[in-house]
Amino acid sequence: MRVVLDSNVLTSALLFSGITSKLVPLWQRETITVLLSREILEEYLQVLAYPKFQLSEGEIKGLIEEELLPFVQIIKPGMRVHVIKQVPSDNKFLECAVAGRAGSVISGDKVLLAIRHYRQVRIQTPSQFLKAFYRQKSR
């Protein structure tokens, strides 16, 4: 299963306990494959550096280099999409998903979630994704 994680999902998965943190062992055991583009990585780094998280540069580097990068597949999107008008920079998640043939973009963003599907890609909350994932796995 190939997925793209938006920034709020990655941050929640790495920094907090709860439903979203259940994604971490899935990607680290390579049960799911997280797809990542350069633009998405740059946003992850920017979000993790928000003062509210109180992470040092070393802590951010450790999270990314130890908890994420060893387990991702790097994608270079070859096309631009213009689906999300309200926050055009969020199109990068769809671009990565399409280029990497992802099944899902996992997001907490209301604008992204309102789209629900784009081409072959489902846009789901972490809860929706995990529920569908475990239902499919139990078959």
CATH at 59: 3.40.50.1010
3-state SS class at 16: coil
Range of the domain at 26: 2-137
Q: What is the β-pairing status of strands 121-124 and 117-118?
A: antiparallel
**Residues 58-82: pLDDT tens digits?**
999 999 999 999 999 999 998 898 8
Determine the pLDDT at residue 137.
75
Q: Could you tell me the pTM of the whole model?
A: 0.93
| SS3 track for 47-94 | HHCCHHHCCCHHHHHHHHHHHHHHHEEECCCCCCCCCCCCCHHHHHHH
**Residue 123's closest CA among 89, 87, 85, 97?**
97
**Residues 87-125: pLDDT tens digits?**
889 999 999 999 999 999 999 999 999 999 999 999 999
* Domains contained in the chain, number: 1
